Amino acid sequence: MKLTLRIWRQKDAKSKGAFVTYTAEADEEMSFLEMLDVVNEGLIQRGEEPIAFDHDCREGICGTCGFVINGRAHGPRERTTVCQLHMRSFQDGDTLTLEPWRADAFPVLKDLVVDRGAFDRIIAAGGFIASAIGGAPDANAIPIRKENADLSMDAAACIGCGACVAACPNAAAMLFVSAKMGHLAMLPQGQPERMDRARAMVAQMDAEGFGTCTNHGECEAACPKAIRMEFIGRMNADYVKASLTGGRRAAGSEGGSG
């Protein structure tokens, strides 16, 4: 298949970017990133700068890849990262516009690559457990309700790709932050620091310049891991509780209830 690609080219964080048009040939079995690899081989052979884009696992696991294709974060397929997207999702003759995540908190570093360090700083603010818990306990040594275990696993599926921010008209990061808080808030091990975590991560999210959720739902639609907006509600409840009580532990949360 033959494609026309309009790709955002930007030399570095300080330079002004612009769309540049390329033609590409691809097999429908190729992944989207393999198609870009071929385009880049051609650019290198012509002595031109290859297109910069992030990737690592190419298996939908690491969250490193991500850009916007024709206005949609990660492209047209639901629950699919751009590294797992295949050219059979497109038609011969299509024109595809590729641009980086657009958000003040994700400055463009080069071409399709943005700086997602803001996510790392939010995690560093509280997205972890600091308790000394010794060696790994036997499975099932700590009983956890199935409902909570399932919710925790659902939230833990977040790969931190940033599609939620790119899709949100407010560039809000609340789906990401709520997932990273949520998977810990459902488990007993996450309780001792639960309120401190809520305050610290929300404060860091605000300090990074992300917007606020106004219930558009674009984040949930764009998320390749189907993280649900219900986690935002759970995060807000924890944050309000933490702000009102100043306590370190959510009332009635000893068993890891949501």
Residue 35 in contact with ligand FES, rule: CB under 6 A: no
3-state secondary structure of 25: strand
* H or E element in which residue 69 lies: strand 68-69
Residue 64 in contact with ligand FES, rule: CB under 6 A: yes
Residues 83, 103, 105, 166: which binds ligand FES (CB under 6 A)?
Answer: 83
Q: Which two tokens stand for residue 112?
A: 């399709």
Which span sits near ligand FES by CB under 6 A: 4-12, 49-57, 98-106, 190-198? 49-57
Residue 61 in contact with ligand FES, rule: CB under 6 A: yes
Q: Which two tokens stand for residue 149?
A: 């275990």
CA distance 39 to 210: 34
Residues 6, 55, 72, 199: which binds ligand FES (CB under 6 A)?
Answer: 55
Residue 223 in contact with ligand FES, rule: CB under 6 A: no
Which span sits near ligand FES by CB under 6 A: 61-69, 95-103, 146-154, 202-210? 61-69
Q: Which two tokens stand for residue 202?
A: 């929300």
State the minimum distance, in angstroms, from the CB of residue 33 to ligand FES.
Answer: 8
Residues 109-168 binding ligand FES (CB under 6 A) are 159
Residue 65 in contact with ligand FES, rule: CB under 6 A: yes
Which span sits near ligand FES by CB under 6 A: 56-64, 137-145, 174-182, 229-237? 56-64
Residue 60 in contact with ligand FES, rule: CB under 6 A: yes
For 164, what's the count of Cα atoms within 13 Å in the CB-facing half-sphere? 30
State the minimum distance, in angstroms, from the CB of residue 151 to ligand FES.
Answer: 23
Query: In terms of DSSP bridges, do strands 68-69 and 95-99 run parallel, antiparallel, or are they unpaired?
Result: antiparallel
Among 178, 55, 179, 164, CA closest to 106: 164
Residue 57 in contact with ligand FES, rule: CB under 6 A: yes
Give residue for tokens 């407010």: 170
Instruction: Give one DSSP letter per residue of 62-94, joined into a string.
Output: S-----EETTEET-SSTT--GGG-BGGGS-TT-
For 192, what's the count of Cα atoms within 13 Å in the CB-facing half-sphere? 7
Residue closer to ligand FES by CB (options 65, 155) is 65
For 212, what's the count of Cα atoms within 13 Å in the CB-facing half-sphere? 4
Which span sits near ligand FES by CB under 6 A: 39-47, 53-61, 93-101, 184-192? 53-61
Task: Please say whether the beta carbons of 130 and 185 come within 8 A.
Answer: no
- Interface positions with ligand FES (CB under 6 A): 55-58, 60-65, 81, 83, 159
